[in-house]
Amino acid sequence: MTEMVRGFRGKITADIITVDMGISGGAVYDFSCFGVDEGGKLSDDRYMIFYNQPESPNHEITYTPSEGGASFAVSLSELPQKVAKLVFTASIDGEGTMSQIASHTLRISAGSEELAMTLSGEDFHDERAIISVEIYRKDGWKIAAVASGFNGGLRELLKNYGGEEMNPSEPVRKPVILEKGQKVSLEKKPNKSGEIIINLNWNRGSERKRLITVFSKQDGAIDLDLGCLYELQDGRKGSVQALGGNFGNLEAFPYIALDADDRTGDTEGGENLRVNSAAISKFKRILVYTFIYEGIANWQDADGVATVKCPGNPDIVVKLDEYNTSERMCAVAMMENAGNNTFSVEKLVSFFPTHSEMDIAYSWGLRWVKGRKD
């Protein structure tokens, strides 16, 4: 094991690394990873990984809380080029300063190599945060032990790296749980960047898993897939789903993309549909659905929950809470353009035998043929 001190620099040759951070002290501490560009600013706000955003878009970085700390798993080779540096930080949530901590520990596992660093309150003064280490691109990946205090807390760290600060005067919005047939409106606010994300989870025992997960084939079960039908204002229509390899495109037509097809159940982030929020005015409507690709139709065991996330709006929650059906296709929610960068979300949770019957029910008019996944 290599013991790091302030100012230490070295190479990282492993692709997969784990960064374990902890603080012993009398306050509540937050642990974060900022993925920044060459200018030291957030390359994308989805690459600020912390308790409230525990994974990056393609799961290159994941956050797992632990008692008194947090663990970050990172796949360096999977990070996009716009992420030039990862900055790992710790901050105080509430009162106190870093001079009052008993210790701050950091351990990095990189293949067969381990690096560790231990700091104490004597290393700091009145700072409320610590910039612990930086992992950066320079002829490969390298590490620098910064071990420097930072005067502000998590909010100021976010601002320091160019992130958008939530207006503290805005109330924290609780999720809106829709009833069947209920419709609510969301607004794509001009000053809010990002994407509209549609995520579907399922509950397996006491552990919340993503709904679009494959149940163990040995257990008998089911492969659930997420998809959508879309209709643009100019009349173009189509679908985005893993079946047939129609994963879409976020930056160009159809302005919707499916992250991946999770067929193993190992992807904690599951499958997400992402809608380019800058193109929301181009859409007339989007029908979100899920279907059982393999296995027995058992929606009750899946206990599905869909969540629509739009920046600047409360999360919209749609529970798949109707179970008395053996049909394999579920129309989850309808999103419709209401004009002026506003769209509605309506809970459907209606079941159909096939894509074709669902298409007919909502008057989409697509031609369907039997498909398979490679």
Identify whether 165 is part of a domain: no
- Residue 82 structural domain: 2-160
Contact call for residues 90 and 104 (beta carbons, < 8 A): yes
Same domain, 152 and 293: no
What pTM was estimated for this model as a whole? 0.54
Of 108, 128, 160, the residue at which a domain comes to its end is: 160
Contact call for residues 202 and 209 (beta carbons, < 8 A): yes
Nearest-Å Rg of the Cα atoms of the chain is 23
CA–chain centroid gap for 66, Å, is 19
Same domain, 156 and 292: no
Identify whether 234 is part of a domain: yes
Same domain, 181 and 325: yes
Is residue 175 over pLDDT 90? no
Helix (H, G, I), strand (E, B) or coil at 123: helix
Q: Which of 156-160, 236-240, 337-341 is modeled with the greatest confidence?
A: 236-240
Same domain, 51 and 192: no
Alpha-helical runs (H) found in the chain: 154-160, 299-302, 355-361
pLDDT more than 70, % of the chain: 84
pLDDT of residue 222: 53
Identify whether 372 is part of a domain: no
Rounded-to-integer distance, Cα 333 and Cα 219, Å: 30
Beta-bridge partners for 203: 208
- pLDDT-derived band at 240 (thresholds 50, 70, 90) equals very high
| CB neighbour class for 25 (10 Å; exposed up to 12, middle 13-18, buried from 19) | middle
Is residue 361 over pLDDT 70? yes
Identify whether 44 is part of a domain: yes
Which of 200, 216, 355 has its CA nearest to residue 274? 200
Same domain, 136 and 243: no
Count Cβ atoms below 10 Å from residue 173 Cβ, excluding itself. 10
Higher per-residue pLDDT: 60 or 216: 60
Specify the CATH number for the domain of residue 12: 2.60.60.30
Residue type, 284: K
Q: Side-chain half-sphere of 120: how many Cα atoms within 13 Å? A: 2
Indicate the Cα dihedral angle 268, 273, 276, 280, nearest 10°.
-140
Higher per-residue pLDDT: 129 or 154: 129
pLDDT of residue 91: 93
Of 127, 160, 193, the residue at which a domain comes to its end is: 160
Contact call for residues 227 and 220 (beta carbons, < 8 A): no
CA–chain centroid gap for 241, Å, is 19
Same domain, 199 and 113: no
Q: What is the mean pLDDT of residues 219-243?
A: 84
Same domain, 322 and 224: yes
The structural domain count of the chain equals 2
- pLDDT-derived band at 164 (thresholds 50, 70, 90) equals low
Is residue 312 over pLDDT 90? no
Q: What is the mean pLDDT of residues 284-313?
A: 81
Identify whether 374 is part of a domain: no
pLDDT tens for 2-46 read 999 999 999 999 999 999 999 999 888 999 999 999 988 887 888
Identify whether 41 is part of a domain: yes
CA–chain centroid gap for 343, Å, is 22
Same domain, 265 and 338: yes
Rounded-to-integer distance, Cα 260 and Cα 347, Å: 24
Q: Are strands 176-177 and 183-187 parallel, antiparallel or unpaired?
A: unpaired
Hey, what are 131's tokens? 């910039």
Higher per-residue pLDDT: 363 or 224: 363
What would the DSSP string read from start to end of 12-77? E--SEEEEEEEEESSSEEEEEEEEE-TTSSBS-GGGEEBTTB-B-TTSSEEEEEETTEEEEEEEGG
Is residue 209 over pLDDT 70? no
pLDDT more than 90, % of the chain: 51
- How many residues in total does the chain contain? 374
Q: Mean pLDDT, the chain, as a whole number?
A: 84
CA–chain centroid gap for 90, Å, is 21
